Amino acid sequence: MDGPHPDQRFDPASITRPDPALLTYYTITALLTLVGFPFVFLPLYFKYHTLKYAFDDKGVSMSWGILFHRQIYLTYRRIQDIHVSRNFIQRWFGLASVAVQTASGSSGAEMSIEGIRNPEALRDYLYSQMRGAKDGAEDADADAPGAGDEALALLKEIRDALHRLAPQHDREEGAS
If 0-12 CB within 10 Å is exposed, 13-18 middle and 19+ buried, where does residue 126 land?
Answer: buried
**Nearest residue (CB) to another protein, 46 versus 110:** 110
Kindly state whether residue 72 participates in binding another protein, applying the rule CB under 8 A.
no
The DSSP code for 101 is: E
Is the distance from CB of 146 to CB of 154 less than 8 angstroms? no
Q: Which of these ranges, 29-37, 38-46, 49-57, 134-142, lies near another protein under the rule CB under 8 A?
A: 134-142
Q: What is the DSSP letter of 36?
A: G
Q: Residue 6 carries which DSSP code?
A: P
Instruction: Give the sign of the dihedral formed by CA 12, CA 14, CA 17, CA 23.
Output: negative
Return the residue of 49, 70, 169, 171 that touches another protein, per CB under 8 A.
169
Q: Compute the least distance from the CB of residue 9 to another protein, in Å.
A: 16
**32 makes contact with another protein (CB under 8 A):** no
Q: Does 130 bind another protein (CB under 8 A)?
A: yes
Q: Does 52 bind another protein (CB under 8 A)?
A: no
Binding pattern for the stretch 141-160 against another protein, x by CB under 8 A and - elsewhere: --xx--xx--xx--xx-xx-
- Interaction between residue 109 and another protein (CB under 8 A): yes
Interface residue with another protein, options 28, 32, 42, 162 (CB under 8 A): 162
Chain CA centroid to CA 140, Å: 21
Strand order in the sheet with 59-64: 52-55, 59-64, 70-75
Q: CA 26 → CA 95, 145, 167, 172, distances in Å?
A: 11, 53, 83, 88
Strand pairing category for 97-101 and 70-75: unpaired
Residue 11 lies near another protein (rule: CB under 8 A): no
CB of 67 to another protein, least distance (A): 28
* Residues making contact with another protein (CB under 8 A): 1-2, 75, 77-88, 91-92, 99, 101-109, 123-124, 127-128, 130-133, 135-136, 139-140, 143-144, 147-148, 151-152, 155-156, 158-159, 162-163, 165-166, 169
